[in-house]
């Protein structure tokens, strides 16, 4: 009996030893990239958090000798009506152009394009992707020219229907920002979700068809559960990109008219570089980071991914 126990312990030690060595090798290989991430991401975030507790300014005495003010920036932030207007504008822009627009429309396009003949499908996908690969600043000026009043292409097109030229970015600024961002970013979710749909095993589709599933049942009970990880990926990335979107909005409306499109990135820029309050602007950017992180975690929990 003693010999058997000794043999079992020896075998267990022999099994644990290679695993321990593998763990050391893994830690060794991960140490370098972890150090790089900590240096280029962790330290700037930590420094930003510290700055958000100071009255650092772009000019004046606070630029050279900032003082620690504790939670004053955050108290000012959460008690400011302009901040909540910025939150409202950011959520409208995110829900309209990101969640409903890019993810929803991207999924619809991914489902529709599968049923189009191959030759025309490749042409259509290339056309949609073209809008995504154009630099954002170019997209912004394209839409600025398109919506220009008078003389813009949009006015010329709807003028055929008898609609008089109007300043569209003044009348419905958020609507046209949402449309412009949908036009620019839908290709990404279409490609990601389309690839996920194509990777679904054909046996599952055939089995569902044999069982008499209609298209709605096929989508809800077969396709949707199989692509939930890809949906979560698209939701997280598009949310991060949309919440941090600055160039398109700043070129088209600069946050106006009034505060109608003054989303958090534009509001942060204005306070940091127009009003020179870097400490307060950094506090805004930290709040934006927390909102984006919280929404990303919420998506992953709602979708129920394996991440």
Per-residue HEC secondary structure of the chain comes to CHHHHHHHHHHHHHHHHHHHHHHHHHHHHHHHHHHHHHHHHHHHHHHHHHHCCECCCCCCHHHHCCCECCCHHHHHHHCCHHHHHHHHHHHHHHHHHHHHHHHHHHHHHHHHHCCCCHHHHHHHHHHHHHHHHCCHHHHHHHHHHHCCCCCCHHHHHHHCCCCCCCCHHHHCHHHHHHHHHHHHHHHHHHHHHHHHHHCCCHHHHHHHHHCCCCHHHHHHHHHHHHCHHHHHHHHHHHHHHHHCCCHHHHHHCCCCCCCCCCCHHHHHHHHHHHCCCHHHHHHHHHHHHHHHHHHHHHHHHHHCCCC
How many Cβ atoms are within 10 Å of 260's Cβ, its own excluded? 18
Q: What is the pLDDT of residue 162?
A: 78
Q: Give the rounded percent of residues in the chain with a pLDDT score beyond 70.
A: 89
CATH number of this structure's domain 78-303: 1.10.3720.10
The more confidently predicted of residues 247 and 209 is 247
pLDDT beyond 90 at 167? no
Contacts of 82 (CB under 8 A, 6+ apart): 259, 262, 267
Q: Give the rounded percent of residues in the chain with a pLDDT score beyond 90.
A: 49
Q: What is the pLDDT of residue 35?
A: 82
Question: Confidence band (pLDDT; 50, 70, 90) for 220?
Answer: confident
Average pLDDT over the chain, rounded to whole? 86
- The domains of the chain are located at 1-43, 78-303
Provide the greatest CA pair distance for the chain. Answer: 98
Dist CA 238 CA 93 (whole Å)? 12
Supply the pTM of this predicted model.
0.86
pLDDT tens, residue by residue, 231-250: 988 999 999 999 999 999 99
Q: What's the mean pLDDT in 240-262?
A: 93
Q: What is the pLDDT of residue 126?
A: 85
Contacts of 192 (CB under 8 A, 6+ apart): 106, 230, 233, 234
Q: What's the mean pLDDT in 247-275?
A: 93
Least confident of 54-68, 233-247, 268-282, 291-305: 291-305
Distances from the Cα of 123 to the Cα of 32, 40, 113, 117, 159, angstroms: 44, 41, 11, 10, 30
Q: What is the pLDDT of residue 2?
A: 44
pLDDT tens, residue by residue, 41-98: 888 889 999 999 999 998 888 888 899 999 999 999 999 999 999 999 999 999 999 9
pLDDT beyond 70 at 164? yes
Question: Confidence band (pLDDT; 50, 70, 90) for 156?
Answer: confident
Least confident of 47-51, 122-126, 276-280: 122-126
Q: What's the mean pLDDT in 118-128?
A: 83
Dist CA 274 CA 62 (whole Å)? 16
Q: What is the pLDDT of residue 23?
A: 64
Q: What is the pLDDT of residue 4?
A: 47
pLDDT beyond 60 at 258? yes
């Amino acid at each position: 009996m003693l010999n058997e126990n000794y043999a079992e312990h020896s075998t267990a030690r022999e099994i644990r030893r290679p695993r321990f060595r593998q763990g050391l090798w893994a830690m060794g290989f991960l140490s370098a990239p972890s150090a790089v991430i900590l240096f280029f991401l962790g330290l700037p975030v930590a420094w930003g958090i510290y700055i958000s507790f100071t009255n650092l300014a772009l000019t004046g005495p606070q630029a050279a000798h900032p003082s620690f003010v504790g939670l004053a920036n955050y108290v000012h932030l959460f008690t400011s009506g302009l901040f909540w207007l910025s939150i409202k504008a950011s959520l409208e822009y995110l829900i309209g152009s990101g969640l409903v627009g890019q993810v929803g429309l991207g999924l619809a396009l991914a489902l529709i394009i599968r049923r189009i003949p191959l030759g025309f499908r490749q042409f259509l996908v290339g056309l949609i992707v073209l809008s995504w690969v154009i630099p954002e600043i170019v997209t912004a000026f394209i839409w600025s020219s398109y919506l220009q009043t008078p003389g813009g292409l949009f006015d010329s097109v709807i003028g055929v229907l008898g609609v008089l030229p109007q300043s569209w970015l003044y009348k419905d600024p958020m609507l046209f920002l949402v449309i412009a961002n949908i036009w620019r970013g839908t290709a990404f979710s279409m490609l990601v979700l389309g690839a996920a749909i194509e990777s679904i095993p054909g046996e599952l589709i055939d089995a569902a068809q044999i069982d008499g599933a209609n298209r709605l049942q096929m989508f809800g009970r077969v396709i949707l559960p199989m692509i939930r990880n890809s949906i979560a990926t698209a939701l997280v990335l598009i949310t991060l990109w949309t919440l941090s979107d600055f160039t398109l909005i700043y070129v088209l409306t600069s946050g106006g008219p009034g505060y109608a499109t003054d989303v958090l990135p534009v509001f942060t820029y204005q306070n940091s570089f127009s009003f020179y309050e870097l400490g307060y602007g950094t506090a805004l950017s930290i709040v934006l980071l927390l909102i984006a992180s919280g929404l990303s975690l919420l998506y992953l929990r709602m979708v129920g991914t394996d991440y």
